[in-house]
Amino acid sequence: MKVLFVNPYIYDFSAYDLWLRPLGLYYLAANVRRYSDAEIYWLDALDRFQDGMEIRSREDGRGKYPREFVEKPEIYQDVPRNYSRYGIPLELFQSKMAAFPEMDVILVTSLMTYWLQGLQFTLKLLKQRFPRAKIVLGGILPSLAPTETQSLLPADHYVSGYGENAVLRFLEGLGARVSYTPVLADNIESPLPAVDLAGTQKYVPLLTSRGCPLHCSYCASRLLNPVFLERRPQDILSEIEQRRRVFNSRHFIIFDDALLLNKKKRFLPVFSRLARDKQTRSRFHTPNGLHASEIDRESALVLHAAGFATLRLSFESLAPDILRRSDGKVNRKQMENAVNCLERAGYRRGQLGAYLLFGYPGQTVEDMEKSLAFIKGLGLVPHLSVFSPVPGTVDFIELQQRGVLATPLDLLETNKIYFLYQKSGFSLEAILQIKEMAATISHANLEAAEGDPL
């Protein structure tokens, strides 16, 4: 049986490769390879490192996607931004498909609820080339919006939640020989994600836990991962070691929601061990925000000594309503303390980033100014994390009840840029003013940091 794994194109106002990787699909491919006799094929429309592409990247692997401007859907007509298809050139995608043999099954992932059109476009290409293949769709879309996914995206089978077990069962049902079907209920150890299928292994994703024990009203972590599951330190260390030995990987991108929570059990044993290992020159990056309240003297020293190069702290806001809805994640004092500890550990302040929620319902320009001024005072680089209304979250349901968002759900309304410009209450001038303010602070604080001591 031949099985093709596909990461689809993106249609959006913006998309940047901030180490975006289809990690869920890597896990599924590893499981299919280990536990079944299916033959595996791989097609990633977002892999900037695959053959024949000219790569322009930063040294750590971040970079721009190739893009092609496309017509905006009706609902986005008033958003004053270009709209594009992001991903590898179409000819490359098509020539890869043409070179593959006929497929029996195609497994397609989805990474954001609003990347609907990218999926529709990719599914159309796949159906034209492989009309007889069974298509299975999984990931964020069928997990958070199952009804809409089924009505808008043609597939033979839809999987909500973790796919390891479901995929093997599906293949077994079609006649593949399957030796084992893993259950991830209380143990997330599984074959290591199949990063060998990617165009490069220099920058590899790393997951030390699934989910988060907190309950922020804007976050879908709990819906996607009902239980906070943590890996054993020894298994995490073995994965890092294997990546270094086999692939010479240098950059590890942490995909956790909550790397530092329960730090004594996982973060400290793993990374203090790496910190002691002076031979290694690995770099760790946390594009997802870290819990600043967990950063004390000890964890700051470990972060620095282990080689954490990109550190972004989840700050969100100083606005009382947002703080309340963030499940007590962090406050002003904890943030100051975290930054002091990190500075003492050897970081310069301008090397540290802080995520600020922007475009949150009810937020005002004044809220943003105050929060930005606080981050400026701390000497950090602000990153505006534009609010995306995520289906199924408390905030999303409230927005529907208030009539701000449509019922039934319109997936295109979950786009963060659309929400910011059309629904957040911020005027175009205010949006530009806040972005400008953030850019100025960022520039000044980055300059103050001058260079990278890591």
* Chain contacts with ligand B12 (rule: CB under 6 A): 15-16, 18, 20-21, 23-25, 27-28, 107-109, 111-114, 136-140, 143, 159, 162-164, 166-167, 207, 219-221, 224-225, 255, 257, 287-288, 385-386, 388, 390, 414, 416
Annotate 79-109 with DSSP letters as a single string: S-S--EEESS-HHHHHHHHHHS---SEEEE-
Given ligand SF4, ligand B12, none, residue 214, with its beta carbon under 5 to 8 Å by kind, binds ligand SF4
Q: How far is the CB of 449 from ligand B12 (least distance, A)?
A: 22
Q: How far is the CB of 199 from ligand SF4 (least distance, A)?
A: 29
Nearer to ligand SF4, 88 or 322 (CB): 322
Q: Which of residues 390-449 bind ligand SF4 (CB under 6 A)?
A: none
SS3 content of the chain, % helix, strand, coil (to 5): 40, 20, 40
In terms of Cα–Cα distance, which of 276, 294, 286, 284 is closest to 239? 284
Look up tokens 């957040």; give the residue. 424
Sign, CA torsion 159/163/164/165: negative
- Find the angle CA(247)-CA(253)-CA(254) to the nearest 5 degrees: 125
d(CA 147, CA 306): 44
Q: How far is the CB of 107 from ligand B12 (least distance, A)?
A: 4
Nearer to ligand B12, 130 or 345 (CB): 130
219 binds ligand SF4 (CB under 6 A): yes
Q: Which stretch binds ligand SF4 (CB under 6 A): 179-187, 209-217, 229-237, 272-280?
A: 209-217
Nearer to ligand B12, 126 or 341 (CB): 126
Task: List the one residue from 79, 155, 212, 386 that touches ligand SF4 (CB under 6 A).
Answer: 212
Nearer to ligand SF4, 263 or 329 (CB): 329
Given ligand SF4, ligand B12, none, residue 167, with its beta carbon under 5 to 8 Å by kind, binds ligand B12
318 binds ligand SF4 (CB under 6 A): no
Nearer to ligand SF4, 106 or 254 (CB): 254
Strand order of the sheet with strand 283-291?
203-206, 251-254, 283-291, 308-316, 352-358, 381-386
**Where do the DSSP E strands lie in 220-298?**
229-230, 251-254, 283-291
Q: 292-320: b or e for each residue (b if 16 or more CB lie within 10 Å)?
A: bbbbeeebbbbbbbbbbbbbbbbbbbbbe
Q: How far is the CB of 219 from ligand SF4 (least distance, A)?
A: 3
Given ligand SF4, ligand B12, none, residue 386, with its beta carbon under 5 to 8 Å by kind, binds ligand B12
Residue 265: count of CB within 10 angstroms of its CB:
14
Could you tell me how many residues make up the chain?
454
Q: Which stretch binds ligand SF4 (CB under 6 A): 102-110, 207-215, 293-301, 350-358?
A: 207-215
Given ligand SF4, ligand B12, none, residue 188, with its beta carbon under 5 to 8 Å by kind, binds none
d(CA 360, CA 426): 10
Nearer to ligand SF4, 43 or 212 (CB): 212
- Whether 135 and 156 have beta carbons less than 8 Å apart is answered as yes
Look up tokens 């590899």; give the residue. 204
Contacting residues toward ligand SF4, per CB under 6 A: 212, 214-216, 219, 221, 257-258, 327, 329
